[in-house]
Structure formats: structure tokens, C-alpha cells
Structure 1
Amino acid sequence: MLDPALLIRADSGITTLTLNRPAARNALSVALMTEMEAALAAIAADRSVKVVILAANGPAFCAGHDLKEMRGLKGRDAVAEVFALCSRVMTAIVRLPQPVIAKVHGMATAAGCQLVASCDLAYGAATAHFATPGVNIGLFCSTPMVALSRAVGRKQAMEMLLSGRPVDASLAEAWGLINKAVEPEQLDAVVAEMAGLIAAKSANTVTVGKEAFYRQMEMGLDQAYAYASEVMTTNMLARDAAEGIDAFLEKRPPRWEGC
């Protein structure tokens, strides 16, 4: 039996999805992306999951699309379906009710860099590198560009897309592609601490906040404030908000109900 392309582990409200094609540098094959899409759909419906960690086995985080597989495709429709599948996976991460944290220990290139940019939070080992090198092989990273241009500044994104050169973890942190670059031996602990911190919050509040964050970013200022005010009004009337405020005033830990 072949090892599964995606490993799934759940522990105390935290689900870890681990890309498991180390020999292929965790390239996003159709099989791997299909497993990811199914896993994300199951997580979205599972109220016991509070946080998702996206990790990878082997020396690389993700080398992007499986180019050998892509070269074997016949016809425009077959190629288009692969990119559509990848776009659905990336969108599912953004739309997932639970926050997703990327734990990047090695190179993340092309669609692998897109994967990092799509996550809500990202932490990288100081030895990690990030690149959108499609321009080097005649294939501009147009779909990775969507996530990248929403994570970093315009000129930083264009530098990566036009040059194809790798960016190290410290520069990725400065540009906002990752939250923090840490020593490799500290990466697991840093990600676990952040995941545990988020998992201890009201799941309902976190879900409401994540959805509102991405929706308001697509709006003009007046519309964003009107929308956010409606969201906050509804949130204020939720049981967890009442419990959280009472707990704060009474100087005790809150007892979340998740609603």
C-alpha cells in the first residue's frame, strides 16, 4: 500500500494536515489536492476542530504543481481542471470557518508559496525560502499571484513574480508573507503555542471574525464599516460574548459554549 498523500491528525481541537509526498517535494498532484479538498470540507463541518495546522514531511514544504503530471495531461480541459481544483483548495482555506496556520520548514515555491499566502497565519523556519519561479520556465505564476498579491505589497509581489528569485524567511517576514521567522528547532513549539492560544478562544467568535475579516477587505470603507457594525452587533448578542464580558468583569476564566 502506498502512503497517503495527506496525513490527518486531530488532537485537542487542533487538526494537523501534513503534505506527505516527500520524494516529490510535496508537489500538488491531483490526488493530493483532491484529498486536501475533501479534508477541508470535513473540517468545515466539524465543530470540534478549532484550528488547522498545515505542515509537510520531507526537506521541502511544497514545490508547487506536479509538473511531470501536468505535462502528461491531454487537452485544454484537463489542464484547466487542475488549476480549477487548486483554486478551490486555496479558496477553501480562506473560507474555512477555522483559522489555518502554515508551518513552513523548507522551500515553498509556486503553488506552494500560494498555499502559504492563502493561510491565515504562517510561521517559517529561518532556513525556509519562498519563490514564484514560474517565469523561469515560461509559465508565469498567475494563480499563485492571486494569494501572493493579497499577502504582500504590490511591488514585493511583482519582484517575486517577475524575477522568480527565492526570498528568505527574514525577508518573507518583513514583507508580510509569514508572521515570523524562527530557528528551525523552535518552529514546532511556536506554531503549537499559537494554535493552542487560538483554540482556547470562543470558536464562534473566531469563526465570525475570520469571515468578517476577509469579506470587509473586498469592500469600500463605508460599506466595510456598515458590514462590520452589523457583524459586531450580532456578535455582541451571542451567548459567548455575554459570557466573555461577564467573566472579564468578574475576573474569572470564561466558559465558552461555542455559540
Structure 2
Amino acid sequence: MRDTITLRQHAGWQEIRIDREAQRNALDRATRESLHRALDAARADARAIVLTGTGGSFCAGLDLKERETDKAAGRPDTAGEEAIALNVAIRDHPAVVIAAVNGMALGGGLTLINSCDLALAASDATLACPEIGFATYASMAGPTSQLLLTRKRAAWLLLTNERLDAATAERWGLINEVVPPADLLSRARRLAERMAGFDPVALAETKKALSRVPGETRGWREAMEFGQTVNAAIRSRTQAAAAGLARFAAGGRNPGQGS
């Protein structure tokens, strides 16, 4: 059986491509497992990961045909649990995970975008939660989008079954940047290369902090005190911060400075 993802390794970053074009890159069991293995392998040295799809789709969500086949065969339905585990692995990964949304993203595909740290989209990409048309709630794309959107925008996404164009998704905050389709991967790769130049401990601790504020802080002062604990954690694990300050004081430049 051919692998359902392709993996390209670079210095300090990796590119993972879902490669099931005929199935609109839907996440079957094999693909979920392959993605999980690739993420695990990247923990050792990748500071950034670009996640994209093959062809005209980013990801059409879970493979519903496989789920029906499993149901008919009497096999337990573990797709939901496995999808949650995959998205948690993205969210908790020490590397910065960048979604390069090359086309349609439906349901579980939108969940992947929401789980990634950054998201770029081709100008012709579309996002949607079609689950209401199946008489179900979007059990992963729904709540993860609700955490990011105002109630009215979340309601539009979940109740209308209309697709959002990339410009609307950017305006709503689901996408960081919209680029011409021909420029999508080059832009994502440049961003990954930029991330690869930063200290891995600082990246990982900053990423963790993004998930903890405001949830674990109650006020302005507490938030700033929390920031001090994050920097203390970084300094306890790496000398890069001290070296960066010394370099700047001596007139040198640090990665990304002034660009």
C-alpha cells in the first residue's frame, strides 16, 4: 500500500503533505497514523512544520466512506478519538506548525487549520463545516472554531453550511494571510525557514504560552507575571537568551531582527 503522506525534510523544518488527491485528502485511518508518526519523528529536530494537501483540496475531513465500511463490518468506530489525538499532537508539538491551505478544507480539515499555530491560504481556498447537512454537530471543527470566533460568526459557520472564502476566513481570524495560489508553498516555506532560525526552546515555550493565556491568567498583572515565569523556564533550559542579549549589546544581529 502506498503511503498517504509525503514528507520532505529540510534543515530545521519539515513539510508534510497529505497525499490522497482522489479522496480530497480525507483522513482515513492510515493517513491519521502516518501523520502521527511524522509528527512524532519531527519532535527531535524540527522547529517548524508545513502541513499542506495534494491537488485542489487541503483536507475534506474524516474519511466517511471508511467509517461506513467499518460500521458494516462491525469494527469499532475509533476515528473520532484518533482525530482528537492527532489534533492534540499538532497543538502540543514543540515545533511551529503552519497550515498551507491549498484548497477546500471541510470539517476535520478546518479542525487541522484550527490546531495549527499559523495558517496561510491560497486566495481560492474555501472553508466550511458541512456537518449540519448530515444532521450532526461539527464535533471538532465546531468547538475549536467557537473558541476563535464571535458567536455570530461561529453560528454562520456551523448553521448555514455555506463555504467561507479565504478573504472572509482571514478577516474572521481563522487564517493569518491570503496569498495567490502559485505563491502559497513558497510563502509557507520561507516562513518555516524563518522559524527554523530561532531557538527551539524559546519557540516551544512561547507556543505553550499561547495556549495558556488568557485561560490561566485572570488579570493584567497576572499575565505579565506569567510572562516572567515563561522566560525563567526558557533560561533554565538554554543559554540562547543570554547569548542573544550579549550579541545585540555588542552591535550584532539576532535571527529575524529588522526583517
Q: TM-score, normalised by structure 2?
A: 0.91
Match of 1:38 in 2: 37
Match of 1:247 in 2: 247
Which of residues 84, 102, 111 in structure 2 aligns to 1:105?
A: 102
Task: Give the Cα–Cα distance (whole angstroms) in 2 for the partners of residues 60 and 13 of structure 1.
Answer: 27
Task: Indicate the larger mover: 51-60 or 65-74.
Answer: 65-74
Q: Deviations over 1:99-144 (max 9, x none)?
A: 0000011000000111111100000000000000110121221121
Query: Structure 1 vs Structure 2: percent identity of aligned residues?
Result: 29
Task: Give the Cα–Cα distance (whole angstroms) in 2 for the partners of residues 114 and 24 of structure 1.
Answer: 18
Match of 1:133 in 2: 130
Match of 2:62 in 1: 65
Displacement, 1:225?
4.3
Total equivalences in the alignment = 251
Displacement, 1:224?
4.4
Match of 2:21 in 1: 22
Match of 2:149 in 1: 152
Matched residue SS, 2:194: helix
Match of 1:213 in 2: 210
Q: Deviations over 1:185-222 (max 9, x none)?
A: 11122112211111111111111110121123322324
The within-5 A match list for 1:83-98 is 83-98=80-95
Match of 2:115 in 1: 118
Task: Give the Cα–Cα distance (whole angstroms) in 2 for the partners of residues 154 and 179 of structure 1.
Answer: 20
- Contact 1:216–1:228, Cα closer than 8 Å, also in 2: no
- Contact 1:51–1:99, Cα closer than 8 Å, also in 2: yes
Do residues 163 (structure 1) and 160 (structure 2) align? Answer: yes
- Contact 1:51–1:100, Cα closer than 8 Å, also in 2: yes
Displacement, 1:254?
4.5
Unaligned runs of 5+ in 2: none
Task: Give the Cα–Cα distance (whole angstroms) in 2 for the partners of residues 226 and 146 of structure 1.
Answer: 29
The one-letter code of the counterpart of 1:249 is A
- Runs in 1 of length 4+ with deviation above 6 angstroms? none
- Contact 1:9–1:15, Cα closer than 8 Å, also in 2: yes
Unaligned runs of 5+ in 1: none
Task: Indicate the larger mover: 96-105 or 35-44.
Answer: 35-44
Match of 2:226 in 1: 227
Q: TM-score, normalised by structure 1?
A: 0.91
